[in-house]
Structure 1
């Protein structure tokens, strides 16, 4: 624009605001406050930075965005418009569908002004960089000219196109949606491809030389799904979630997290070069935890997000350490194991709320067509947590069937990019951890409110008894105490999770308990002391039968020895233990040149069931000390921009602005040209040619990219390219 342009500026409008109105803008735009802007001119510049405006646009609903789009369509980027102008335009453009009334439109304008992306009192303008900050080809209003096809009709028409016609449309997609052609004229040969596409509604005529690809046709060509514009809010109808069902699901995740911590404490998981976990590691943990690999991936991701697990070098190192990093528990895991159930579930839900790891992507192909590994960089998506917050917030407002429409209204830009598959995965995870159970549960509602979920979760009281049945099942009427739960997980396998769970005793589970150092007498005592009724004889028989087969080999820490009352069995064990240097020195005694743990491990891998013993013959648990990696350093929390700081900022800006002289810069050339492209307006360009001569030319700008402007000369119809730095003024005709 000319230097003495009368067009209102954001700076001038800010000067007219009272302190309360200015405080509201700072409250809505906290990223523009720190560091403190020295004056209103500096604040105005920050408010018009594209990166800041993008943050604002992501917060706007579709009603506010469609009002902004309408204002731009009638020229609010270039000159002032009024609220009645916008209302009239919207009523005309949306007459074929439900649309906002006058009150709703005025409320949207007030909110846009509260973010300072529109400004003015009676006469309104759009702040610079606002419209360019929207996604490419963003459009909520129906096409103003040309195509009026709906999505299904556009899809059908595109499917019937010949290769030649499809190639033309593909070229326009790559070119940004606009094209120059002599066939755009009204008198063009109707047998030519361009007029045929215009008649079919797949192209729109802009003028005699320009065609435009309608937004809905472009979406079909790009293979993206239809997202109908939801311009009015969806009535809230969500019912509260079933908190009991949510807690039951969450406590199963707590149980799996405890088992995972125990497993990784004894055997930390080695990582690949990229920091991810390999397929074999996931498979091993799946067998140890007795759950699917999908669930293992989820619980590992959750452990990392919560800080219970971390990549690093554990202490102590595994016996077979070959260098490199491991995934192992942190000291926070010990605090987790000692916490009560509500706090444990609360810790996990806080970690899940901000988790950016996508376990469902494991095994999919990355950009290089290689499989994605869990915890690798390819399995991390920074936007996942924000999408999770939006999905849960939507489910807190509406039923699941209306979720897509609700997201399209409240978060239209995010919903535009949000794939249905991702929404399904996020809801599935929410059900898994108990944040969603027929509705959003109390813990998740606390997270939405910025509160501690542990205080909202009503975990049932623990029980210290169970019912042992003759078919070897154990019915547990509620959550067990941590000590009892650890023992139960050792001696039995879970068959039915929930607040009331069912476990099963088996030969495999009891052998596992004996391998972990429990004796038959200790298992029997645990069952008897906590059984609500008399212990069935079949259970005692099972324990004694397994005990006769287990532990017939006895080992001691003499670096080390192995003994057995069965000479034949000892001989077989010596043959299987040559790798650890087992050597038979008597019919019932052998020694090894390896630590006892290594001997025991080797023999168990060979199919034997040896146990360790102390000098008195009592069974020992010789598992190594739990491995731990140091916890990550937590970043210092940023001080919130509270009301006191906002008021102090307003006073400081006012004080500095009063002492500052000079005039704020007017609308820059780039912003005006971009607006002229979107509005398809003719402008007079003042520029300096290669010979240094000042020249004026009437043109219609087509594109503004990479520091240059392509425009049609209105007189000759030729396309010219102008370097942005040579343009001295832009006059909108």
Structure 2
């Protein structure tokens, strides 16, 4: 009769199996045990030490390492070691700590959780199929230092919630024999003993114990299976690695009920000898003790089919480290300028705040066209600015606007601006790659919305850059190799969704200039990227970037076609003025600028005069200024400012009434709703931005001004909406660095207070 394995989601459950998992623990992570004395008698129950008692024996240095390894334990600071032990035993904290275990340490924890008592390092190594040479000692030490395992060496105990986090069938194992044979009658159990050649016992408990003792004796158990009919091994092979539950199927020629194993079938033979248990009417289960024997002595060498004792190999390809640093540095210097372009565009034409939060996809596409960038890169720039606090949702206006911090950021040197952005990105929970992806309701995720946040992305960034940091300087490896290593380091955080996060993070690291791209590989971590991982101060981080950049230049090559070429990175003050008076056509090792009517007018709007522009260009041009550029500056200067626009809703003020009369008589301005209110002054119902655009589209050159007649000041967010962040029960602050003053001080206080 065939046996069919249900999927994991269809595995049966039973209260008895859950009770078995808790049988050895009490609410305080302590318990009682009986140990025989020298005469073989049972000694009185002795209270096992609790986790709190064990923590009291730890020195302050070890407590500090625990708080650094599990930072959620320190937020808020616990009042005592008892409070620390209670918090360390909570389900959410335990699950988070387990998420940070590598594959081998997790496998050791699984072995500790399922191993029969007493649990020791030697018994765990034997269960894993490893020699007793101390191979597992290091992993057990890590688990004890993380307070996931406690107790004496002769009786190690995983936390109750660590056992439960492994699931009801850890490592694909079924329940113990006591639960698997729970549906069997006493008479049936005695019949099982006879078939196995075991003596009768007085009760079901001792009968199950006798079967368990047989399973723990490999030669005897091997002898039982040697007498099995053909097909038994195939049935066991289906269940041994999990799921341990199997549906009883119906084969050709059998009745359609499928309730009973056919007489003489392999399934009947296994059931009659207690090697399989009947879980319910149509489901059988492989008991845990039997699976231990089969995994170690029949189908494998240990508890796990594949033991991850060593991390996967990472092939390395070496490249020129200096060139990689220069390539990454070039991208790093581009990012602040792109963020500035985006926020300047949003200052003049801000996107609205959606009712559900975030900005609209249409606004993102419009901004991408303005920046001549992809939607993915534009979303990254917006999220980067948001993470750095340079843009916010303004409640008063209902628009996304630059913040006052943006103006302070603009005053910083370019390398320091990049340092602010890179530091914000590293600790941000924003996964820009989610923008535009379908959400749970199959709607596109909006930029700057709560759906962009991901509780896992912050640690993933550190882990990913850390893997690249392991490689020699200037070396890279394949993306698949990095993913395999990451999944070994964090097996509970693996799968297609995490792989996608890895790809997004690598892409963002390249855009940010932390990683130099290499075709077909994960990229090369730049020197300033390594400095970011070290947590250096912003100034030191900026200096690390500056070291990879060539010396800045203070001159440009201005050509007759109204373009200018900067042969290298411009000095900050020169770059700022060039970006004001000309548009950037392309950036890279050499930046190409183009002078246009709009760009020159932009400089005039910012308060520059024609003489200022002529002097600046003459000072920083290697050659004589082309006549075409001189004419362009003078022509825009003659027309600029003759007409001024302000808010009244909007008003137009002219230097003389004749100019205003000429404009009002122009049929092209009829749709702007202008009307004269005084000599040289007219008003409109249009907002100032639309009125400016309308007049300029019809050949006029008005200038925006404030109420006092000065140039208009930038629009900034005044009242911010609540920041959209991710929520997850396991989300915590980023891990504190071991040895940090706050962690050491808290550990010393706890050690002193007991």
Pick the TM interval, shorter chain: 0.5 to 0.7
In the alignment, what sits opposite 1:232? 310
Contact 1:251 1:345 in 2 (8 A): yes
Correspondence for 1:364 among 432, 437, 441: 437
Taking the TM superposition and a 5 Å limit, the aligned residue runs for 1:195-214 are 207-209=277-279, 210-211=283-284
Correspondence for 2:424 among 338, 343, 351: 351
In the alignment, what sits opposite 1:131? 163
Cα deviation 1:101-128 (Å, max 9, x = unaligned):
9443221122212223223213423222
Equivalent position SS for 2:129 = helix
In the alignment, what sits opposite 2:569? 479
Mapped pair 1:333 → 2:403: no
Correspondence for 1:11 among 20, 43, 49: 49
Taking the TM superposition and a 5 Å limit, the aligned residue runs for 1:306-317 are 306-313=388-395
Equivalent position SS for 1:475 = strand
Whole-angstrom CA distance in 2 between matches of 1:125 and 1:612:
76
**TM-score (norm: length of structure 2):** 0.64
Q: 1:517 to 1:335 in 2, by over 3 A?
A: closer
Whole-angstrom CA distance in 1 between matches of 2:397 and 2:643:
35
In the alignment, what sits opposite 1:629? 718
* C-alpha RMSD of the superposition: 4.8
In the alignment, what sits opposite 1:576? 669
Contact 1:268 1:328 in 2 (8 A): yes
Cα deviation 1:628-687 (Å, max 9, x = unaligned):
42589999999964334323312322xxxxxxxxxxxxxxxxxxxxxxxxxxxxxxxxxx
In the alignment, what sits opposite 2:581? 491
Contact 1:491 1:505 in 2 (8 A): yes
Q: 1:326 to 1:211 in 2, by over 3 A?
A: farther
Whole-angstrom CA distance in 1 between matches of 2:505 and 2:256:
51
Whole-angstrom CA distance in 2 between matches of 1:178 and 1:631:
55
Whole-angstrom CA distance in 2 between matches of 1:70 and 1:478:
60
Contact 1:82 1:123 in 2 (8 A): yes
Correspondence for 1:431 among 494, 506, 510: 510
Larger displacement relative to structure 2 (363-372 or 227-236) = 227-236
**TM-score (norm: length of structure 1):** 0.66
Equivalent position SS for 1:129 = helix
Q: CA deviation at 1:410?
A: 1.5
Q: 1:471 to 1:51 in 2, by over 3 A?
A: same
In the alignment, what sits opposite 1:160? none
Mapped pair 1:452 → 2:537: yes
In the alignment, what sits opposite 1:710? none
Cα deviation 1:114-145 (Å, max 9, x = unaligned):
22322321342322221212478764999x9x
Taking the TM superposition and a 5 Å limit, the aligned residue runs for 1:221-620 are 230-234=308-312, 242-313=324-395, 324-398=397-471, 399-401=476-478, 402-416=481-495, 418-437=497-516, 438-456=523-541, 457-459=544-546, 460=549, 462-498=552-588, 500-506=590-596, 509-510=599-600, 513=603, 522-540=612-630, 554-555=643-644, 560-561=653-654, 570=663, 573-582=666-675, 591-592=682-683, 597=688, 600-604=691-695, 606-612=697-703
Q: 1:607 to 1:131 in 2, by over 3 A?
A: farther
Q: Which runs of 5+ in 2 are unaligned?
A: 1-22, 25-30, 36-45, 177-238, 268-274, 289-304, 517-522, 724-731
In the alignment, what sits opposite 2:137? 106
Q: 1:49 to 1:505 in 2, by over 3 A?
A: same
Q: CA deviation at 1:65?
A: 0.7
Correspondence for 1:72 among 113, 123, 143: 113
Taking the TM superposition and a 5 Å limit, the aligned residue runs for 1:689-728 are none
Equivalent position SS for 1:373 = coil
Q: CA deviation at 1:374?
A: 0.9
Contact 1:583 1:591 in 2 (8 A): yes
Cα deviation 1:191-221 (Å, max 9, x = unaligned):
979999x99xxxxx9545545799xxxxxxx
Whole-angstrom CA distance in 2 between matches of 1:12 and 1:598:
70
Whole-angstrom CA distance in 2 between matches of 1:26 and 1:599:
60
Q: 1:584 to 1:551 in 2, by over 3 A?
A: farther
In the alignment, what sits opposite 2:206? none
Whole-angstrom CA distance in 2 between matches of 1:603 and 1:358:
39
Correspondence for 2:148 among 114, 117, 139: 117
Whole-angstrom CA distance in 2 between matches of 1:570 and 1:337:
38
Aligned residue pair count? 575
Q: 1:194 to 1:266 in 2, by over 3 A?
A: farther
Q: 1:565 to 1:349 in 2, by over 3 A?
A: same
Equivalent position SS for 1:27 = helix
Contact 2:87 2:93 in 1 (8 A): yes
Q: 1:182 to 1:577 in 2, by over 3 A?
A: same
Contact 1:230 1:408 in 2 (8 A): no
